[in-house]
Each structure stands twice: as C-alpha cells, then as structure tokens.
Amino acid sequence: MFHQYKHRIYNIAYKLTTSQEVAEDIVQDIFMQIWLKRSHLAEVQHFKAYLFTVARNYITRYLKQTSRLNITTDTDNTGLQQAVHSVIPADQILADKEYTQLLQQAILRLPPQQAEVYRLSKQEGLKREAVALKMGISPETVKVHLALAMRSIRSFCLSRMGLSVLVCLFIQ
C-alpha cells in the first residue's frame, strides 16, 4: 500500500510545499496516520479516495500552520497558489484568506501589550512562562492580556464575518 501510493502523495506534498524534506515528512506522517487507524480500514470502501482525503486534510492543516507562523518567505509563490487551488476547494481558500485579513485587522486594533502577548503566544507558539519572561511581566498578566486579546479578536471577527465564513471555520 505504501509503495503503491507514496509517490503520488509525495508529488502533491512537494508541489504544495516546494520542499523535499517537508514532502517526505508529510508522506511519512500521512501513512503513520493510516497505520494508526488500520483497524478502521476494513470499513473503508474506496481506499484511494480515503487516502487522498486524509492527505488533502493533512496538507491543508500543514499549510495553514506554516502560513500562520510566517514560515513561507517566498514572495513569488504563484506556483504554490496554483497547486493549492488544485487540491483545496476555492471557497475554502477564499474563506481562509478573508479570515486571515480579518484576524490581522483585529490584531491591529489591540492595545500594544495585548497585541505583543497574542503575537508571542499564538503566532510564535510560546508558552505563557516564556512570553512572561520575554516581556518582563508575570505569567498571570500574560494570561489576562491573552484572554482580553482573544475576547476582543473574537468580538471583532464575529461582528464582521459573513455567515458562510463562520460556518467554514467552525466546521473544521
């Protein structure tokens, strides 16, 4: 099974990430997910469709994570965009783009300290203690600033998002 499909999954992952190492890791992770759920494979009627759905979902999550962490620094990513459009539905791409723009607007409206706590915690992935140490404030203050920032961002986004975007975000 692995040898039959690994090249197809690798090609899709490579087109979307443009990195051999990342594409290899993605292939390994996808087949690891399949292996861990092997007891459920007897229920799957169309394995190929199932495998490519798992792959599409995994790669989509990976791309979302890397875009949120600003790992992609390539300014000319038209090839990446074309590849994404061939795997991810257009309405999902549009909803993600709209959500990202709205989120950036919400972050810009935060007070400076809340914005910094949010950036360090949510975008850079630092733990509360690391954020506190970096900013010279207590972990409890980080917790309060993050809670206020999240509440403000949520209110801003909910008041400005279309219903279709909300449905897409909460379904995932």
Q: Report the SS3 class of residue 77.
A: coil
Please write the tens of the pLDDT for every residue from 111-134: 999 999 988 988 788 889 999 999
Q: What CA–CA distance (Å, rounded) separates 27 from 16?
A: 13
Kindly report the pTM of this predicted structure.
0.44
pLDDT along the chain (172 residues), means of 10: 87 85 89 85 82 85 73 48 52 61 86 92 86 94 92 80 44 36
Q: With contact defined as beta carbons under 8 Å apart, do 152 and 106 qualify?
A: yes
30 close to 56: Cβ distance less than 8 angstroms: no
142 close to 114: Cβ distance less than 8 angstroms: no
